[in-house]
Structure 1
Amino acid sequence: MDKHPGVAAGPAALHVLEVVGNAIVGGMETWVERFIERMPPQRVRFTVLCPAECAFARRLRGLGMEVLIVPMADDPSWSSIQMATALVQSAGVDLLHAHLPRAHALAGIVGRLTSRPVLATVHGRQPTVLDLEVHRAVHSHLSVVCRPSYYSALGLGVSPELLSCETNGVDTQMFRPQRPAASALRGSLGLAPSTVLVGFIGRLSPEKGPDVFLRMAMLLQGRRPDARCVVVGDGPMQAELARLAAQLGLRQTHFLGLRDDMPTLYNELDVVVSSSHSEAMPLALMEAMACGLPLVATRVGGVPDLIEHGETGWLAGPGDFNDLAGRCAALVADEALRRRMGARGRARAVEHFDLQACVDRVGRLMLRLAGSRGEPALPAQVAEVSATA
């Protein structure tokens, strides 16, 4: 269904080709979907390239987007280059916007062939080697999502004129405190209504440290037998984590798999933990904070810009499952502390990380890169991001 019924994109609307790389279920896809959904069609209209048919592509079509399937690789095939080039030329695309390195490689080549500007959003902690190679070859503009990523890119030789920082945002209306009268999740797990739930939400892959979370859960199980832990997500470590949970004797940890009811699920939890070894600006933490939950997270990437240590949650060293367990135990034991930290986190999310502000910043950047829309240049990017810290 058209998200903006009765409103057609005018002839002056910027036409952006979103080139979305080899998709996994995660924050990148969610960001792209919400960005497209929020951008006014009078200002920007979108066409999307995806590497394969998937639920993400179907959801975008449900928003009224034209979605085309084009294989993407580190070395893009001629057929992919030819198809994307013909699309850009025939459809009057003004700018290519890439997500993930393989998409950046395809967009970079096509942008050079068609003389269109290329914007690549780097959702991870730092640009990959492929991102840097493409950037240096075609002078694409890199947009990163947190301050550490900005300085990392500068340190890798990215020109400040071709680099900006547009901090991630969260939909604070979709994700908001709304505690259910009765907990369906606790009922489904056979738990008492008063059971405190500590959650991990993310892809089950090494960089996210789900094994660290399980080791934390083992310690928490000994310290707070009245608490339970839940793991939300799937990924390549799923079988390994099931074996580790059995080895650790985790009787109080439940694997929930992927969920499509996250705004509701966050409100079933009491504490959210991020045990990552590497992050940029994790969407799961932003969503949990917007839902009024206290956070316990490792001090990596842009996470310290999200969490005010001791105010909206606590930070621990990467891999330090003992500290994570201690912080979680303190929150499990003190409902008033959970409520106080959660309320402060909600206020911080609304003030500094609202999605519409993020959409507006990226929209202005696109218009500036397109070069003919009469939009003012963005303010100094690092100063803008510093205001959120």
Structure 2
Amino acid sequence: MNNNMSAQEARVKWSLVAIGIAGLSATPAVAQEGDGGVVREARPSKSVEDVLREEHTLFDNRFSIEPSINYSYSDRSKLALRGFLALDAIFLGELNLDGVETHITTFDLNMRYGFSNRLELGVTIPFVYRSTTYQSIGDDLSTERESEVNVDEAALGDISATLSYRLLPETPTRPDVVISAGVRAPTGKDPYGIGLREDDNTNLIVPTELPTGNGVWAATTSVSLLKTLDPAIVFGSLGYTYNFEESFDDISASSGDQPGDVDLGDSIQVGFGTAFALNERLSLALSYSHEHIRKSEITSNGSTSKVIDSDANVGVFNIGGTYALNDSTSIVTNLGIGLTDDASDISLTFRMPFQL
């Protein structure tokens, strides 16, 4: 009987050990510290954290510095007719093909600090270098000669700050919801009152300098959603930008000061996409963003008028990826392809977030 009891006790002990081992292997999201006491859940992989940082907001109670460089290129051609139509069939005058090539390189210094797992502050300081080439057929009134002038500018851009708050954390049935509010200061070179010049022996008139900012204060608000659908992450956002009306001593490109008020058109932004954490360090994201900008208005000498061709629709398809070098540093790339006439033809961004 003692032998039977010993055998039964041994079977019970081995069963308990097996159950304990199975229980430990079935809970990989739980981490232990000290003498084996459970204290917290394990952090997500670094690739998932990078997706959260780039497409949403990562509230991790850490200070991060994110230098970045963005290059965008656009090429616009416009047929210019200077004359009149005779007998409804014959055009008398000048026929010019004008082209504008724009290169914009922006160096950004982004700083973020998470006060808690719900509140984060971000500040962006941009430095802008612009180079624009103006081309026109008709140099010296000849249809066989082309004139070309290049104008460039390098200066500080508009500094912005954004405060983000996690309204609802993600659950198995609900996405993570974050609301944000921000402000943009007119620290860059404004585009108003810039003079024009004409090169010798050409029919091409170009600005004397280029702007690096909008020249007005702006307030932004947005809401973003993110849901983890293993192995994918889906996200979307909706935002609105309000530009405050501003007075300037000169809003005309002609000689002499012409004071007036400028009311830039407000804009609404929408975006959506999906991302995949390919492994512990590498992720890939595909997204689309669209911005609709309303017409601007100017007030001068007591009369208000809308600025022709100041409204825009900017649609961009984005292909992005992140690679974690280590637990505190990542490399982020993004390629933007313009899908509308008002968007840049191509935009390329490199970022390197450092977490301290």
TM-score (norm 2): 0.21
Q: Which has the larger share of helix?
A: 1
Larger Rg: 2
- TM normalised by structure 1 equals 0.19
Higher relative strand content: 2
